[in-house]
């Protein structure tokens, strides 16, 4: 019995025993047979696979996370096995006939599940033939997602540099977004860097194919080193992308975001404006671009101590919130994220003691609403929940309520400890934040404990040089405790 089958079979057993068709995820953590599957945050674990493929569904009730079977999804899963067994060795043509001619409701979804069972090499070989099917190609998104999250994403990158067509790039974009929504950033980083390395190594390609690949590579610019991102932009500007047949709104918006990362705010604003001009009536795209503009102004306010930029950021976020209020069913997580970014823009006014145009109660309400939305939709033990609590903690620190700030910081840290490995960047950041609150309260021994944890993690991950402020804080507390020898030893390592 495979891991997937064991998981599904035992889940059904537990539901039978509990006489419930929906179970708290917490109950499964300690199960001898499937507990390790459920606790694993690795994208290739059976539990994560079944969530990704739509066989299982997680939902939140009263701030608790539950799991259940998706009845239709399970039918598609079994149908995929049937199609796989009946078409094995017959090539892409047999699958095209099912997609184009089989009248069964769910046939496309069955082919989708069938393709997930293919070896990476076999899937890549028939991918090109399947993209020639007329009509909706969404059934290729999950199988392609499966390839990207595998250890063989380089093979897909090799294929793309030789077969980069508009349809294929669009499927890749949707697959990458699927993985991004699930929070598996390492997979995206690896794949996009595979693409980037191959773009840089290309010698003879058509102009349009280069632009297609650059368009894909720009999807998540934050996953590259600044040097690689600068090289990508330099290559792109050798070609006439303004007249290329690409989706201009997202392209210009992503190009603006890349310039923001490269600390070229004027160029960033230019391409954000180009994106807004190209956007016709898509309110969601407009909100996304305006949010990026407001966030850029917020960053410039902090960097330049510029109240003018701060005011532009606040005005931008206010405009976005008015737009959201007019949409009947706006995506709740996006709304909560916007509230968080708006609150961060307001924090700048506290940092530089600028005149406030809003009350402390308004800001606290904004953060609380964001927290409630995220807990309702993601549950307590989620990355976004921890980060929202961290924003609440920062708010109370800025208004001088350090005890409340520490209490919230510890809550966020406990969530991070539950959902991330010990040696992870997120654990280091949250550990540092707890240490910082203890230092502000002059609890230097407690501050030392959390700063040391952050230091040890960064040392293990090789991130000491990137986190200078963490190291400086640790040394500062050691000197407060008269541990001068240890302080010197830490300083020698950085």
pLDDT band at residue 118 using 50, 70 and 90 as cut-offs: confident
Tokens 């809003």, residue located: 358
**In the predicted structure, residue 281 carries a pLDDT above the cut 90:** no
Mean per-residue pLDDT of the chain:
84
Q: How far is CA 141 from CA 127, 131, 135, 251, 289, in A?
A: 11, 11, 14, 20, 25
**In the predicted structure, residue 203 carries a pLDDT above the cut 90:** no
* pLDDT digits 0-9 by tens, 391-408: 899 999 988 899 999 999
DSSP 356: P
Cα angle: 365, vertex 294, 370; to 5 degrees: 25
Q: Are 399 and 82 contacting, i.e. CB atoms less than 8 angstroms apart?
A: no
- The mean per-residue pLDDT over the stretch 488-494 comes to 84
Dist. CA 71–CA 199, nearest whole Å: 43
Q: Which residues have C-beta within 8 Å of that of residue 67, sequence separation ≥ 6?
A: 11, 22, 23, 25, 28, 56, 57, 58, 59
Q: Which residues have C-beta within 8 Å of that of residue 356, sequence separation ≥ 6?
A: 346, 349, 350
pLDDT band at residue 455 using 50, 70 and 90 as cut-offs: very high
- The mean per-residue pLDDT over the stretch 329-347 comes to 85
pLDDT given for residue 70 in this prediction: 82
Dist. CA 223–CA 480, nearest whole Å: 38
* pLDDT digits 0-9 by tens, 363-385: 888 899 889 888 888 788 777 88
Least Cα distance to 42 among 421, 476, 431 occurs for 421
Q: Are 309 and 301 contacting, i.e. CB atoms less than 8 angstroms apart?
A: yes
pTM for the predicted model, two decimal places: 0.71
- The mean per-residue pLDDT over the stretch 94-110 comes to 83
Q: Which residues have C-beta within 8 Å of that of residue 423, sequence separation ≥ 6?
A: 457, 460, 461
pLDDT band at residue 389 using 50, 70 and 90 as cut-offs: very high
């Amino acid at each position: 019995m495979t891991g997937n089958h064991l998981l599904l079979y035992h889940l059904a057993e537990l539901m039978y025993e509990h006489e419930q068709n929906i179970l708290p995820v917490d109950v499964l953590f300690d199960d001898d047979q499937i507990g390790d599957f459920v606790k694993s945050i690795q994208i290739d674990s059976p539990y994560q696979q079944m969530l990704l493929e739509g066989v299982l569904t997680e939902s939140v009730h009263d701030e608790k996370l539950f799991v259940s079977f998706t009845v239709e999804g399970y039918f598609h899963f079994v149908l995929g096995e049937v199609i796989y067994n009946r078409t094995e060795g017959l090539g892409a043509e047999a699958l095209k006939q099912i997609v184009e001619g089989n009248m069964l409701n769910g046939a496309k979804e069955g082919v989708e599940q069938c393709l997930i069972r293919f070896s990476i090499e076999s899937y890549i070989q028939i991918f090109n033939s399947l993209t020639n099917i007329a009509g909706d190609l969404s059934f290729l998104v999950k199988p392609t997602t499966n390839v990207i999250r595998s250890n063989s994403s380089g093979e897909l990158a090799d294929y793309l540099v030789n077969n980069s067509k508009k349809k294929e790039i669009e499927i890749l974009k949707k697959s990458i977004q699927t993985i991004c929504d699930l929070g598996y950033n390492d997979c995206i980083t690896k794949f996009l860097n595979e693409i980037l390395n191959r773009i840089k190594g290309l010698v003879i390609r058509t102009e349009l194919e280069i632009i297609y690949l650059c368009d894909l590579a720009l999807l998540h610019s934050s996953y590259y080193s600044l040097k690689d991102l600068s090289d990508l932009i330099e290559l792109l500007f050798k070609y006439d992308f303004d007249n290329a047949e690409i989706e201009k709104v997202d392209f210009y918006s992503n190009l603006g975001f890349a310039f923001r990362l490269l600390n070229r705010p004027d160029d960033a604003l230019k391409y954000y404006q180009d994106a807004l001009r190209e956007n016709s009536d898509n309110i969601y795209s407009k909100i996304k671009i305006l949010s990026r503009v407001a966030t850029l102004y917020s960053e410039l306010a902090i960097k330049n101590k510029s109240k003018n930029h701060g005011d532009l950021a606040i005005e931008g976020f206010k405009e976005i919130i008015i737009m959201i209020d007019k949409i009947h069913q706006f995506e709740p997580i996006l709304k909560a994220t916007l509230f968080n970014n708006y609150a961060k823009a307001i924090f700048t006014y506290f940092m530089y003691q600028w005149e406030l145009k809003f009350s402390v109660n308004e800001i606290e309400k904004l953060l609380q609403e964001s927290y409630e939305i995220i807990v309702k939709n993601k549950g307590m033990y989620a990355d976004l929940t921890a980060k929202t609590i961290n924003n609440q903690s920062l708010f109370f620190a800025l208004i001088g309520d350090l005890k409340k700030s520490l209490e919230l910081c510890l809550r966020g840290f406990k969530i991070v400890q539950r959902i991330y490995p010990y040696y992870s960047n997120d654990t280091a950041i949250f550990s540092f934040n707890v240490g910082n609150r203890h230092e502000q309260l002059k609890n230097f021994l407690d501050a030392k404990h959390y700063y040391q944890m952050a230091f040890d993690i960064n040392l293990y991950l090789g991130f000491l040089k990137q986190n200078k402020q963490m190291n400086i804080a640790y040394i500062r507390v050691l000197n407060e405790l008269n541990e001068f020898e240890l302080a010197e030893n830490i300083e020698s390592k950085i």
